[in-house]
Structure 1
Amino acid sequence: MGFLADVYLWVKALHVMAVMSWMAGLFYLPRLFVYHAEKVQVGEPTDVLFQTMEMKLLRLIMNPSMIVTWVAGLALVMTPGVVDWSMVWPWAKAGAVLAMTWFHMWLAGRRREFAAGENVLTGRRYRLMNEVPTVLMVVIVLAVIVKF
């Protein structure tokens, strides 16, 4: 575990960069879904364009960012002296990260529905769901910084 302590700041920096990339995708993909649901008809050229944008955002940015976030985060957790599990904050963060991961998977499911021409949700529903990562981000940041 001495190795993890030696590279702690590098892993932490990598974790923060990966989180920023992941969050950008979690904010943007539901917004794409809003416009896709409200402005595009199945089979139109714009439908194909939106599907391409959504697929590339998910597969090329969001999925790798989520994986790096998890790997770096777990490395940070395993670094001796970083997390005191007797406190509330690591549990709050862990719960919020699990919820964020669920939201990521939920978005991936909606992308598959758009690709199959089977989306049933409205732009309004996607707008509401777009608030989920914001709430989770607030919980995570307060947990880590304030350590409540």
Structure 2
Amino acid sequence: MLYLWLKALHIIAMVCWFAGLFYLPRLFVYHAMSSDPISRERFCLMERKLYRGIMWPSLVLTVLLGAALISLNPSYYLSQGWLHAKLSIVALLVVYQFFCGAQIKAFARDENPRGHVFYRWFNEAPVFALLAIVILVVVRPF
């Protein structure tokens, strides 16, 4: 029963984290397109609140709950290739989130060197990560 509760909470935390990973770069698109100071200030506030209030707590819970799941049967999970691949993708997503944090700081200093087209493409990375993670966990190809 503990396993099922941890799994459910892990999935909920992951969904919340991905909601932020999908939405924050979309805010970057709009922020990069904005020209007036009031809009830019509003986007800075929205980005900061999303990053600190939703994305970080969700990331921490996702990782902690995932670690708790692994700890229930570490000899099994740590011998599975699909899990190592999944954890590698999760590590890349953590790096992605740190990069998002750097972008928030650049926007706050009004020093963003990138245009909205960059952020439109940047916004797609979490989609591919989510596809890979779901396939790895459900299909367990190796």
TM-score interval, smaller chain:
over 0.9
Give the structure with the larger helix fraction. Answer: 2
Taking structure 1 as the reference length, the TM-score comes to 0.90
Correspondence for 1:86? 79
Partner SS for 1:35: helix
The CA deviation at 1:84 is 3.5
For the 8 Å contact 2:34–2:40, the answer to whether it is kept is no
Taking structure 2 as the reference length, the TM-score comes to 0.94
Matched to 1:57, the amino acid is L
Runs of 4 or more above 4 Å deviation: none
Residue of structure 1 aligned with 2:13, choices 13, 18, 24: 18
Residue of structure 1 aligned with 2:102, choices 74, 93, 109: 109
- 1:18–1:82 distance in 2 versus 1, CA, 3 Å: farther
Aligned residues: CA RMSD: 1.4
Partner SS for 2:118: helix
The CA deviation at 1:77 is 1.0
Partner SS for 2:84: helix
Structure 1 window deviating more from structure 2 (49-58 vs 73-82): it is 73-82
Correspondence for 1:45? 38
* Deviation by residue 1:70-96 (Cα, 9 ceiling, x = unmatched): 100110111116844333201110111
Paired residues, what number?
141
Residue of structure 2 aligned with 1:129, choices 118, 122, 134: 122
Identity %: 39
Correspondence for 2:2? 7
For the 8 Å contact 2:47–2:104, the answer to whether it is kept is yes
Matched to 2:18, the amino acid is M
Structure 2 unpaired stretches of 5+: none
Distance 2:136 2:103 in 1: 30
* Deviation by residue 1:96-146 (Cα, 9 ceiling, x = unmatched): 100111111110110010011111111111111111101111111011000
Correspondence for 1:3? none
